[in-house]
Chain A
Amino acid sequence: MNSEQSVVFVIDDDPSMRESLESLLRSICHEVQAFATTQEFLLSERPDVPGCLVLDVRLPGQSGLEFQRELTRLDIELPIVFITGHGDIPMSVTAMKAGAIEFLTKPLRDQDFLDAVHRGIDLDRDRRTNTAVLADLRERFGSLTSREREIMVLVAAGQLNKQIAAELELSEITIKVHRAQVMRKMQAKSLPDLVRFADKLAIDITKL
């Protein structure tokens, strides 16, 4: 079913429940890593592939909701599917606001559960792709000279060569040469491409 590699992490303190979840996920060919406690999960070596975390709300010691906050703090970005024996609305609202994929009550409906897990993995995959693309773009942007960066910003802002030349007090020919360099180094096939890249980088920059 899954051509690409992926992994599902399960944290539930009840051994029978943990095994049943593991079995269910394996029956449709998921790679599963199951843990009884959050510590075990943190200490484990996690494969660098798209994944999803199935987390019991009621755990000994730290609750699932607290662990969700800790993961954010530790900068571990992993979509979370919560499962609970007795969920109430405030609890689920808290979890969803903090970015959970789904909040399911036990006994689980297996299709809902598996759908949620798939959604989590897809999200994680997209996130990973995005991150990779951005890292690549950043690298390309880094290879530009400061003059080329200046010109790229102005071009992306929609200014004409003539206007840029006037602003930077250079000849239009010089601008054209720089601009060609920018397009080549950024691997942009067209002007809209370049604008999109600038956008992504800008979003990334404001984010930082």
Chain B
Amino acid sequence: MLVAVAGAVLVTAPVARVSLANTEIFLPAYAAAIFLNELITAVLLLALFSVQRSRAVLVLSIGYLFSGLMVVPWALTFPGVFASLGLPDPGLQSTASIAALRRLGFPLFVLAYALLKNSDSSVRNSHAPVRGTILRSVAGVVAIACGFTWLIVTGDDALPRFMSDTRNVSEPWQYVPATAVFLYLIGLTVLWRRQRSMLDFWLIIVLCTLLIELIHLSYLSAGIRLSVGWWAGRLYGLISASLVLLVLLSQTTTLYARLARSVSAERRAREDRLVTMEALSALIAHEVNQPLASMVTNADAGLRWLGRKSPELEETRAALKRIVNDGHRAGNVIEGIKTMFKKSAQERVPLNLNQLISDVLRRSQGEVQLGRVSVETGFDEQLPLTTGNPIQLQQVLLNLISNAIEAMNSVTDRPRVLGVRSERHAPGSVVVSVGDTGIGLDPEHKDQIFEPFFTTNRDGMGMGLMFCRSIVEAHGGRLWATDNVPHGAIFQFILPHNEDSALPNKWKLP
């Protein structure tokens, strides 16, 4: 890359100041390309913001939007370009002033991004409605861009004398590229030192290309408009900005694909578990039903033998004997199933529920992001340890969380918030709650939701909540549901905790 830059500089340097007459006609195309480029970048960054809720990203996208919007008046006021449109003559200094605003404005936004990035983690969980924030920010930028344009176009006399004529810059302009170079260098340093994400990396590249563009524009070509150096700088900037945009686009697509894949993998795993459960329950049903059916028919036969005019005691005795055998047979089936489950289900270990919740939330992250849901956690850091089966309790939480996310699928008029909390309850127990701002519980079905085969989900089996409840109850706890205020539902379960009090310090979450 450096070689390419050096090459580009060397090739254009000797002829940099040669003026290319009548090349104004290319300017609208160039401006349109830049405008689209920066607009798309801004939209991509806004999309990133809506997922990540990072203020830094929002600021950066606003920077791109501002820069892109200011290209429009820049091109419109460029001397001789849109003369045929019959626009009022904007004055000699307008174009240069707008260019100065863009040159100095953009690195400031990047700097703000780099500085905000550090203080960002605390804001991540805030759930101010994303759509509203985006709309307000975009409206604000558009208003500011319009305002600047208005001031610059109408107040030409008050502007610094950047240009001596339509082609050549004058003394005050020298400060602009110098300041810009300075700002770029600060930005580069800050980004370099705090480099964390791929976005930071690409921003460094963007700043480098902008720096090179500026060197071309302001130093190699001595600021002479429409000279070889001036055009070379602009084209160079455009090409590298497009490359960066392409990279960003492909990265976004890859990221989305990966996300979708992980969500579908998680979903498949859950379905597999359900299928196993279904097969298992069919097997149990059949194995128990067979002796049961035989018992009923034997009893019927016995009654009929007894009901005859002369009761047949021998036949009745035989029927009763078969009933006894069938009873034992059914008992054996149940016993077998119990031992089958015992091995895995009886395993109980001391558990840090906070840790468990965090693990589950991490596993559900894909679903959370796809559902555009923000997560609010409230952990009681002094939470005592509980004893239980980690895999089963994880199942309970996974189930409750995915139900909550699903309940918010159709919500568009309010923030989608998944609230997961842990706290100590009345002596000896802890409570974990999973709340959502979704469609809430249907009062008509409120009592039925924990019953087997009750479901409001077309693809569901209606076993999830029943299993959750039986797992919690097997742990000596309870699971219930209440309404969330003002919208949605809260599912809570209570578990007994170990006597030996609070969590050791090393388990505390950051």
Contact = CB atoms under 8 A, between A and B. Distances in A.
Nearest to A110: B300
A90 interface: no
B293 A23 contact: no
A17 B293 contact: yes
Given A23-B318, A27-B308, A27-B315, A108 B286 contact: no
Contacts of B312: 27
Contacts of A17: 290, 293-294, 297
A101 to B, nearest CB: 18
A27 B325 CA distance: 21
A20 B291 CA distance: 11
B362 to A, nearest CB: 41
Given A27-B308, A86-B282, A110-B300, A16 B294 contact: yes
Interface string B310-325: 0010010011001001
Contact of A107 (B286, B297, B308, B319): B297
Interface string A144-181: 00000000000000000000000000000000000000
Nearest to A85: B289
Contacts of A113: 297
Contacts of B300: 24, 108, 110
B452 to A, nearest CB: 16
Interface in A66-82: none
* Range for the number of chain B residues in contact with chain A: 20 to 34
Given A27-B304, A27-B312, A27-B315, A20 B297 contact: yes
A23 B292 contact: no
Nearest to A58: B286
Interface in A47-93: 85-86
A199 interface: no
B282 A16 contact: no
Contacts of B422: none
A43 interface: no
A24 B297 contact: yes
* Range for the number of chain A residues in contact with chain B: 10 to 19
A108 B293 contact: yes
Contacts, number: 73
A114 to B, nearest CB: 9
A106 B326 CA distance: 14
Nearest to A14: B290
Contact of A106 (B289, B298, B329): B289
A21 B297 contact: yes
Contacts of B298: 16, 19-20, 23-24
A107 B302 CA distance: 15
A60 to B, nearest CB: 13
Nearest to B293: A106
A20 B315 contact: no
Interface string A12-37: 00101101110110111000000000
B285 A20 contact: no
A111 B429 CA distance: 54
B350 to A, nearest CB: 42
Interface string B407-436: 000000000000000000000000000000
B107 to A, nearest CB: 70
Contacts of A27: 301, 304-305, 308, 312, 315
A20 to B, nearest CB: 4
A26 B319 CA distance: 12
Contacts of A107: 289, 292-293, 295-297
Contacts of A108: 293, 296-297, 300
Contacts of B302: 23
A43 to B, nearest CB: 25
A81 B435 CA distance: 53
B307 to A, nearest CB: 8
Interface string B32-73: 000000000000000000000000000000000000000000
Given A27-B312, A86-B289, A110-B297, A16 B325 contact: yes
Contact of B322 (A16, A28, A85, A106): A16
Interface in B259-300: 282, 285-286, 289-298, 300
Contacts of A23: 298, 301-302, 305, 315, 318-319, 322
Most buried by B among A14, A24, A106, A110: A24
A97 B312 CA distance: 40
A86 B283 CA distance: 11
Given A16-B291, A20-B319, A113-B297, 11 more contacts: A16-B294, A16-B326, A17-B297, A20-B301, A23-B319, A27-B305, A86-B282, A86-B285, A107-B289, A107-B295, A110-B304
Interface of B: 282, 285-286, 289-298, 300-302, 304-305, 308, 312, 315, 318-319, 322, 325-326, 329
14 contacts: A16-B325, A17-B293, A19-B298, A20-B294, A20-B298, A20-B301, A23-B302, A24-B297, A27-B305, A27-B315, A106-B296, A107-B292, A108-B293, A110-B301
